[in-house]
Structures are given as structure tokens and as C-alpha cells.
């Protein structure tokens, strides 16, 4: 798989493991690190939290959403996910400042 950003692409399999946990403050857990992190919650009580990045995708221009969609399909086609579909690997993102 080639990198959309022109950086070196690393090949491998995305591996995901899930488990239920007792009441915990996900925000507190995520506040303790410097790695990229995300916390997302929907109105029905589903919460997703994560830290670090297994992959980073960068695209620009008019075709960027299609390029990211293609890259994501390739990234996840051989994913090894052991858990409910709602906890599957996914791309979450936005923009980051240019360096």
C-alpha cells in the first residue's frame, strides 16, 4: 500500500482486541498521555476512546475523501478484529496544523 502523503508506507495487519470494563473515566485515562488520543460519545451512551495511532492518512485536494476511502479499504481488508462490530478498527480524524 502506498502512502497518500508521500511518506514511507509500513505494511502490516491491523489487530484489534476489545473487552468490557467496569465504570471508568475514559477522559481521565486519556488525559495522562502525549500520544494522539480521541474520546467520542453518542447520545445513547456509546463511548469510544483510543490513544496512539496504528496508521495516519494524509490527503488534500478535491479527491481527498475518495483517496482516504480507498486507503482505508486496503488498510482494513485483512484486519484481525476480536470484538463486537461497534468496537471495530476505524479511522477517526480531522485536521492537524502543518509543520
How far apart are the C-alpha atoms of 22 and 7, rounded to whole Å? 40
How far apart are the C-alpha atoms of 46 and 60, rounded to whole Å? 31
What is the band of 10 on the pLDDT scale with cuts at 50, 70, 90? low
Phi, psi dihedral angles at 85 (to 5 degrees): -55, -35
For 44, the grid coordinates are 445513547
The pTM of the whole model exceeds 0.85 = no
pLDDT tens string 40-63: 888 988 878 777 777 888 888 899
CA-nearest of 98, 89, 92, 85 to 13 is 89
How far apart are the C-alpha atoms of 10 and 17, rounded to whole Å? 21
Amino acid at each position: 500500500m502506498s502512502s497518500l502523503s508521500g511518506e514511507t508506507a509500513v505494511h502490516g495487519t491491523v489487530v484489534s482486541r476489545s473487552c468490557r470494563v467496569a465504570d471508568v473515566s475514559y477522559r481521565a485515562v486519556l488525559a495522562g498521555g502525549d500520544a494522539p488520543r480521541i474520546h467520542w460519545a453518542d447520545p445513547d451512551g456509546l463511548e469510544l476512546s483510543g490513544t496512539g495511532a496504528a496508521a495516519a492518512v494524509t490527503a488534500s485536494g478535491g479527491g481527498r475523501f475518495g483517496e482516504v476511502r480507498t486507503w482505508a479499504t486496503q488498510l482494513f481488508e485483512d484486519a484481525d478484529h476480536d470484538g463486537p462490530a461497534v468496537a471495530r478498527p476505524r479511522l477517526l480524524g480531522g485536521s492537524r496544523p502543518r509543520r
